[in-house]
Amino acid sequence: MAEASERNEEKRKKAECPVCGALYDKEYKLIVHMRTNMFCLSEAGKCYYYKYCNFEAEDVQELRKHLLAYEDFHLEKVTHQVAHSTYDSEQGSSERGAEGGLEPLRIERRLESIATKLADLEEKEAAIIRNAGPIVSAIEQVRGTLTKCLSLSNTVDNIAQEFRQSGLADLPSQGHLLRQTNEMNKKLVLLDRALKDREPVNYNGDYLWVLGNYWTKCEQALLKTRTSWTSPPFYTSRAGYKLCIQIFLNYDGQDGSVGMYVALCSGEHDDFLQWPFDRALLFSVLGPRHAIQMHYIVNPNDPGARKPQNNALQKMGFDAIITRQVLESPLFRTNGKIHFRLQVLSKAEFSDVPVVNSAEVSPELEEECQILN
């Protein structure tokens, strides 16, 4: 009896996480837990999802940061792999019924081919994300702070609601507590607004804007509930021009053209700058497998080159830099995000930059987009 109890205790210890104490009925489940949970991870090396992200690190902290940053990416790839495996299994079953059996080697080769293509796409997607650099990191930090603030605000709302329902607010001695709770809630709302308005500012005239939630924004554009989206402002230098990017996801409302523009904004140093605005602009739409660029030489007589008045935005750019059919293909879309880039250059600098002359897509690329979709 005692020996059986000891064996059960040893088996339980094998399936218990030494960090968080979580229990698992199988030892392999504990191994998966300790390699995928950033808080319980204790050994550096290859990421558990290495086949998707090709990431490895000699430092445990670096591996933990990677697991946190790529949590949604890993989940999407695992789900995608499961879906493909299910589809291949069903196809194999139907072929065995018709042909009398399918060789395991053919199945293995098919899975290897699919895995190779997925790894190639994932590697290029990861390169795009890494190139976003410190701007994306700063935005994620602001979003994390905002999420904590919203969570705290919701907690205060719940406490205030429970307090009102308890009847204590009606007691003369407790009235001041309700007033203090309301004041705290108002301060949290103001803090929430301040955090939303706070965005990392770019001062080098080379701005990469990641437009997220693409499918939701596209639906709004098609329903005409919202027609355009404007980026946070950025500057050509510390004491330079202030600009922003404007995107129209359904510019003409017919053939699905995407418009990309830049607009000058009222800035702190406008009185000391030279007007009209006389620079060259390089518009880019970036993707893991393709990039489109169009150049724009600002005409001094263009209304958009004049000094901004009363915060009125006069846009300069292109009505159709790309079509939605091409934009929605894996050539450009990564996890529902689209990457737009604007570079402000002097005309002398612009002459040295290699530029794609137009945003027209070749018939071969159109055909590839249709296949990928």
pTM of the predicted model, to two decimals?
0.45
Lowest mean pLDDT among 58-62, 64-68, 145-149, 165-169: 165-169
**Backbone CA torsion sign across 306, 310, 314, 315:** positive
Q: From start to end of 266-314, where are the E strands? A: 280-286, 291-297
User: Which residues make beta-bridge pairs with 292?
Assistant: 285
Averaged pLDDT, 112-123: 80
- The DSSP symbol for 231 reads P
pLDDT > 60? residue 160:
yes
- In a 3-state reduction of DSSP, which class is residue 292? strand
Q: What is the mean pLDDT of residues 28-40?
A: 79
Write down the H helix ranges in 100-132.
104-131
Total residue count of the chain as it appears in this document: 373
Q: Which CA distances in Å does 276 have to 198, 307, 369? A: 29, 7, 41
The average pLDDT across 306-324 equals: 86
What are the structure tokens assigned to 171, written together?
């007691």
Is 179 buried (19+), middle (13-18) or exposed (0-12) by CB count in 10 A? exposed
341 or 365, which is more confident: 341
Q: Name the residue with tokens 């308890």.
A: 166
- What distance in Å separates the CA atoms of residue 241 and residue 274, rounded to the nearest whole number? 9
Q: Percentage of the chain surpassing pLDDT 90?
A: 16
Handedness of CA 342, 344, 349, 350 (dihedral sign): positive
pLDDT tens digits for range 193-226: 555 455 567 888 899 999 988 888 888 888 888 8
Kindly tell me if the per-residue pLDDT of 367 is higher than 80.
no
Query: What tokens appear for 77 in the block?
Result: 């790839």
Residues paired with 338 in a beta bridge? 211
Say yes or no to pLDDT of 73 above 80: yes
The CATH classification number of 206-372 equals 2.60.210.10
Dihedral in degrees, nearest 10, Cα atoms 147, 149, 155, 160: -140
pLDDT digits (tens, 9 = 90+) for 35-69: 887 778 888 888 888 888 888 888 888 888 888 88
Supply the pLDDT for residue 196. Answer: 47
* 5-14, 29-38, 280-289: which is most confident: 280-289
Give the three-state DSSP class for 291: strand
C-alpha–C-alpha distance, residues 193 and 110, integer Å: 52
Pull the structure tokens for residue 353: 């930059």
**pLDDT computed for residue 365 by the predictor:** 45
Distance CA 207, CA 235 (A): 9
Residue from 24, 77, 20, 80 nearest 47 by CA:
77
**Separation between Cα atoms, residue 215 and residue 223, nearest integer Å:** 12
> Measured between alpha carbons, how far is 68 from 65 in angstroms, rounded to an integer?
5
| Cβ neighbours of 150 (radius 10 Å) | 13
Lowest mean pLDDT among 56-65, 167-176, 237-246: 167-176
- The stretches of the chain forming alpha helices (DSSP H) are 2-14, 27-36, 50-53, 60-69, 71-99, 104-131, 133-166, 175-197, 214-223, 324-327, 347-350, 363-372
Rg (CA), the chain: 28
